[in-house]
Structure formats: structure tokens, C-alpha cells
A and B are shown apart, each in its own frame.
Chain A
Amino acid sequence: MKSLFNIIKEQIGSIYLIQRLAMFHIKIDNRNNVLGFVWEILNPAIQMAMYWFVFGLGLRENNGINGVPFIFWMLAGISMWFFMNQGILDGTKSIYQKFNLVAKMNFPLSTLPSYIITSKLYGHLFLLGILMILFWINGYWPSVYYIQLVYFIAISYLFTFAVTLLTSTLAVVVRDIQMVVQSSLRVLFFLSPILWQTERLPDFVEPYMQLNPFYYLANGYRASLLYNEWYIIDQWQLTVYNLGVIFLLLLVGSAAHFKFRNRFSDFI
């Protein structure tokens, strides 16, 4: 519990640092490309087009889902995925990749994953902006439910941070964790209703699918952007469950982080 407080204190004390380093990170990442930051959008756009082609046109013959065209349904759910997938993968690498950069300074090490995640968040917000415009053009107007979107963005960020706090520490000790994380993410991606509806599965399977946090997040984004429902309240059991998962991850992650922090240099 004490470690968790220390992590929170360190994060809040470093907000300016995190945000500036995130900007630098985007700059460094894109400087060598002619199109620069555009790739942060172009890459997911191409992937989304392919998923729509295969899962929307190919498998569903472009049928809508609860009155919303498949393409919009998919876009609203998947935008969160690109952010979290990239955030968790790069965040897990962050400590062992960047440790030498900051080793000789008194650097708050728990901000390494958070600045990487924050840099991904900027791309996410930009992408979300473009998607919103697309939704507006097609008649899905902004509503009071957008307040809920803020909550879901925050929860996506928190969940990503909670996971990477733990995995970035473990990856320093055992590098294989990176591979484990990568595979797990792929499994969770296909087991969540991002590209297809889990409702089509036999009834007894559905509750287990809901244990996957991406289930809650994907549907939360959709409820806020397209369906105009108070998903947080309608599915309050899921809200409680996911907040619990995040809290638990933060608790374990911060304890692990502080346990190994002093010895990172021995493992790198």
C-alpha cells in the first residue's frame, strides 16, 4: 500500500516531466520519416481498413450491429485497442530500453513507462478526433454521453499504466516477459468483442468473455460514441470488477517496482 502511494506521489510530482518527455518521444520517433506524425494515424488506418474488409465485408456481409453499421461499431471499439496495445508493448520495454539513458541521473524511474504511454495517448486522442468527425458526418451527434468517454479514456490509460508498471519491472529481470505480454495481448484481442460480437457464442461462455478488460473498454467506447447509453451504470458489475482489477494490478505493480528498483542496474 505504501509503495502505491509512493508511485502516485512520484507520478503526480512528475506531470510536467512526463508530458515533455512524451512530446520528445514522438519527435524522436518520427523525425526520420518524411510524413512524420502522420504515420501515427496512417498505420492504424490501414489496419482498420483491412479488418473492416475481412470481418465486416467478408464475414458479416456488412450487416449492422444493434442498428449501427459494422464499420462504425468496429472503429469505436478498436481505436482504444491501438492505444493500449502499443502502450503496453512499448511500456513493457521502457525500463530496460531507457535505463541506461537515465541511469546516471536521479530520475523517477516509474515515469519511464508513463511517458511512453502518454506519447501513445496523444496519437490516440488525435485518432479519436478524426473518428468523431466521421461519426458526426454520419449522424451520430455529440451528446451528454461524451462525458462517459472521458471516463473510458482515463480508464484505458490507467489500465495500461497498471499493467506496464508490473510488466516493465518483470521484463528487466526476465526479458522473456516481453514475449509473454505480446502473446497474451494477441489472445485477448481476439477474445474480445473488438472485431466480432461475443454475444453469438453459447450463453455459458459469455460471462467468461466479460472477465477480459477489453470487453468492458470496447463496449464502453461504443456506448459513449454511438449507442448513447450509460454503460458505467448499466453494467455496474463490470465497472466494479474492472476498477478492482486495475487497483490490484497497481498494488502488485508498485510493490514489484520498488522491490527491484534499486537493483535494476544489476540486471541490465
Chain B
Amino acid sequence: MKEAVVIKNVSKKYRMYRSKKEQITDLLLPGRGGKNFNAVEDVSLTAYEGDVIGLVGINGSGKSTLSNMIGGIVPPTTGEIIKNGDTHVIAINAGLNNELTGIENIEFKCLLMGFSKEEIKRVTPEIVAFSELGDFIYQPVKKYSSGMKSKLGFAISVSADPDILVIDEALSVGDQTFTNKSLDRMNEFKENGKTIFFVSHNLGQVKKFCKKVAWLEGGRLKKYGSTEEVMAEYEEFIEHYKKLSKKEQEAFRKETAKRREG
């Protein structure tokens, strides 16, 4: 099998400042102001072509930072990510403008996604059909409900045809029928052998959709393996975590937070 994405010892550090003064101090004398925060710490994993990998973990575990790094939006502080193929991040709400109509937004967002004139012409009817907006497509987006807006954004986003796909909480859009339609589209990607990274809190979806799961905790890769294996353990952890009292949950969070400093 061919490697699609190789993540090698990737870390992401953020500088955190409490005040403007700290920020200026740090700018003039690097290291003297502010604190480090390790959003992602020394993560390594390899995805092969056609892998569908779920990224799971509680809030703040580094899922989004990692998926952003895979998508090329955020550069890693250390380590490297080698990708064989085009990468596309499904970003529903990015790149829509409220003043423009639905149909204008299709061209606008497609331009931002790097489509050529011909490609835009080709995909526009497909997007219009997929979005189920009917005549609303000629109305300015500011008149849309949030569900309609997401449907449009989603429809445009999935018209791309990349080799590697990053999906971050994208399938919770619209009503049940639209979710099913979206899942169908995702399965289409899967059947076409795309490499997919799927970030979700919906464990049911992860179990149904993914072949492998990477579990992040406190910015570190806790476990990586087949879906059954990892999810069994992760669900156990979630059950356990839920049962903890508020104080114990806080203690757990504090402990991981402390480890991520420095």
C-alpha cells in the first residue's frame, strides 16, 4: 500500500500572553514574556491511500490543531507532514459572503478553493442541485437560515475532488435527510479510495464511517489502531470520565493542562 500522509514527530506550540506588555517583551526579548502551550505534542502516524481515519478526543485535546496541520492551514512548530496528493479541508462556513446571492457565492467560494473557470461552470449545476435551495439560490445569503447557509457551504465544499480530505465536524449540518445525503457523499469519497481524516464527537458516525481511529488526549496520541480496538477503549474512557464528579473532571483537566505548558 502507498503512503498518503506521513506525520513525523509533529508538535505545535502556541505562545500565550496575558497582556500586551508580555507580548511586546516576548517580541523584543524572545522567551522572556508569555507562556508556551503545547497544542499537539510529538504525534507520529502514517495513513495509507484509502484509509479513513477518525480523530477522537475530548474538547481541547488537539484534534482540530492536528487536522488543521494535516490540511496545511497551520504549520507545525517541529516535525513534518509529508503528503502525497492534493489536500482539501471541508470548511462549511469559510468563504461565504452574506451580501452575495447563493449562486454568486458558488462562484466566489469555488474561486477561493482554486477552481478554474471551466471547473466552476461544470460544478455549478451539481452544487445547486445538491444544496436543495430551490429559488433561494438567487437570494442574498444574509436572508438564509443558518441551516440553509450550511447546506450551501457544504454543497460547495464537497464539489472538490482531492486525494486527501479533512473533515472537521462537517456532518452535523441540516436536518436528518440532509445528513444522510452528506454521509452518502462521504461514502462516495471513501469508495473512490480517497484518504480521509474525520474529526467528530459523534461516536456513532466515527464507528460507522472510519476504518482506523486516532485517539488524542492532552495533545498526545494516546492510541492509534483499528476502529473496533480503539473505540472500545475510548468509549470506556468516556463512560469513566462522565462518571467523575465535577471536581475530579476539573482535576483531570488541570493535570493535562499543566503538562502542556513549558
Contacts and interface: CB of A to CB of B under 8 A. Distances in A.
A101 B112 contact: yes
A105 B99 contact: no
A265 B73 contact: yes
Contact of B108 (A24, A262, A265): A24
B95 A27 contact: no
Contacts of A200: none
Contacts of A103: 73, 94
Given A24-B108, A106-B72, A106-B87, A101 B100 contact: no
A241 interface: no
16 contacts: A20-B111, A24-B111, A27-B100, A28-B99, A102-B95, A103-B73, A104-B91, A104-B94, A104-B95, A105-B91, A105-B95, A106-B72, A106-B113, A263-B75, A265-B68, A265-B75
Nearest to B109: A105
A101 B140 CA distance: 18
Contact of A265 (B74, B89, B111): B74
A24 B101 CA distance: 11
B115 to A, nearest CB: 9
A21 B107 CA distance: 10
Contacts of B86: 106
Interface in B121-161: 140
Nearest to A101: B95
B246 to A, nearest CB: 34
Contact of B99 (A17, A21, A32, A102): A32
Say whether chain B's binding surface is mostly helix, strand, loop, or mixed.
Answer: loop
Interface in A92-126: 100-108
Interface residues of A, number: 22
List 3 tightest A-B contacts by C-beta distance, closest first: A104-B91, A262-B75, A104-B89
Nearest to A30: B99
Contacts of A108: 114
A186 interface: no
B62 to A, nearest CB: 15
B111 A21 contact: yes
Given A103-B94, A104-B73, A105-B89, A31 B99 contact: yes
Nearest to A16: B117
Contact of A24 (B104, B116, B140): B104
Interface in A7-59: 16-17, 20-21, 24, 27-28, 31-32
B9 interface: no
Contacts of A31: 99, 140
Given A24-B108, A106-B87, 20 more contacts: A16-B116, A20-B111, A21-B111, A24-B97, A24-B100, A24-B104, A24-B111, A27-B100, A31-B140, A32-B99, A101-B94, A101-B112, A102-B94, A104-B89, A104-B91, A105-B91, A106-B114, A262-B75, A263-B75, A265-B68
B71 interface: yes
Contact of A105 (B74, B112, B116): B112
Contacts of A16: 116-117
A107 B75 contact: no
A170 to B, nearest CB: 13
Which of B14, B73, B140 has the most chain A CB within a 10 Å cutoff?
B73
Contacts of B74: 265-266
B41 to A, nearest CB: 17
Given A106-B72, A106-B87, A265-B74, A17 B94 contact: no
Nearest to B89: A104
A102 B100 CA distance: 16
B117 A102 contact: no
Nearest to A108: B114
B114 A28 contact: no
Contacts of A100: 94
